[in-house]
Amino acid sequence: MDSKQTVFIVDDDPGIREGLGLLLNSVGQPCELYSSAPAFLDAYDPHKSGCLLLDIRMPRMTGLELQARLNQQGCLLPVIFITGHGDIPMAVEAMRHGALDFIRKPFREQELLDRINEALEVDAGKRRHQLDRQKLLNKIAALSERELEVFYRVAAGEMNKAIALDLGISERTVEVHRSHVMKKLEVRTLAQLVRMKIEADASADIL
């Protein structure tokens, strides 16, 4: 368990909700308890890391509806659904929409703790990737306008001579800009530069 991450429990059954809270507290895992999906949404902070333990059947807003709302907001929290026997088709549908797993009632405590640990690892990996992606975009944003032009053209496979001719500058100037680009982006090879462009393009599409 990770004391820096929070397990968010959303269940309208007070017995199950409090029982889950006691279980997590017994292993030193911070958790927050919510009796309904709207209550969780009111308190939701996208900067908080962890995972969401979510009952699939609740009044006012079901677990599936909450999942859909969170997906619209780009929520990173992995979702584990708690389901009854008759809810399995719904749980499978939830997994098609990104849920990490589902636990059938009644569940074994250790099984649940193991699934939660897996979810916390997934969350940590997502947030590391998001941080790396933002660092990459920040590096590219720090390039000058001319350096940015050179970066995209070099990464697209254009030769220095062709870049110089197209931009109306000398080939030596292109080489200088290229050197500055490599230094600012902290890469040493053309392959690394190309990979960085691909990642930047993909990140821009996501953001």
Instruction: Write out pLDDT tens, residues 164-183.
Output: 999 999 999 999 999 999 99
Is 44 in the same domain as 106? yes
Residue 20 Cα to chain centre, angstroms: 25
Q: What is the CATH number of the domain that holds 178?
A: 1.10.10.10
Indicate if 193 and 105 belong to the same structural domain: no
- Percentage with pLDDT > 90 across the chain: 67
- Does the residue 61 lie in any domain? yes
Is 137 among the domain residues?
no
User: Are 89 and 165 in a shared domain?
Assistant: no
40-47 mean pLDDT:
93
Q: Which residue has the tokens 């907001």?
A: 73
What's the domain count of the chain?
2
Boundary of a domain, candidates 68, 100, 127: 127
Higher-confidence position of 201 and 56: 56
pLDDT at 43: 94
pLDDT tens-digit readout, 62-89: 999 999 999 999 898 999 998 876 677 8
pLDDT computed for residue 90 by the predictor: 82
Residue 105 in any domain: the answer is yes
Query: Taking the model in full, what pTM does it have?
Result: 0.73
Whether residue 109 contacts residue 73, with contact meaning beta carbons closer than 8 Å, is answered with no
105 and 168 assigned to the same domain? no
My answer on whether 13 and 113 are in the same domain is yes
List, for residues 113-168, the tens digit of each pLDDT value: 999 999 999 999 988 888 888 888 899 999 999 999 999 999 998 999 999 999 99
Q: Which residue has the tokens 């929409």?
A: 97
Q: Note whether residue 36 is domain-resident.
A: yes
pLDDT of residue 205: 56
Does residue 11 form part of some domain? Answer: yes
Q: Which residue range forms the structural domain that includes residue 105?
A: 6-127
Query: Helix/strand/coil (H, E, C) string of the chain?
Result: CCCCCEEEEECCCHHHHHHHHHHHHHCCCCEEEECCHHHHHHHCCCCCCEEEEEECCCCCCCHHHHHHHHHHCCCCCCEEEEECHHHHHHHHHHHHCCCCEEEECCCCHHHHHHHHHHHHHHHHHHHHHHHHHHHHHHHHHCCCHHHHHHHHHHHCCCCHHHHHHHHCCCHHHHHHHHHHHHHHHCCCCHHHHHHHHHHHHHHHHHC
CATH of the domain at 79: 3.40.50.2300
My answer on whether 10 and 103 are in the same domain is yes
CA proximity to 107, closest of 55, 52, 37: 55
Within a 10 A sphere around the Cβ of 48, how many other Cβ atoms?
Answer: 14
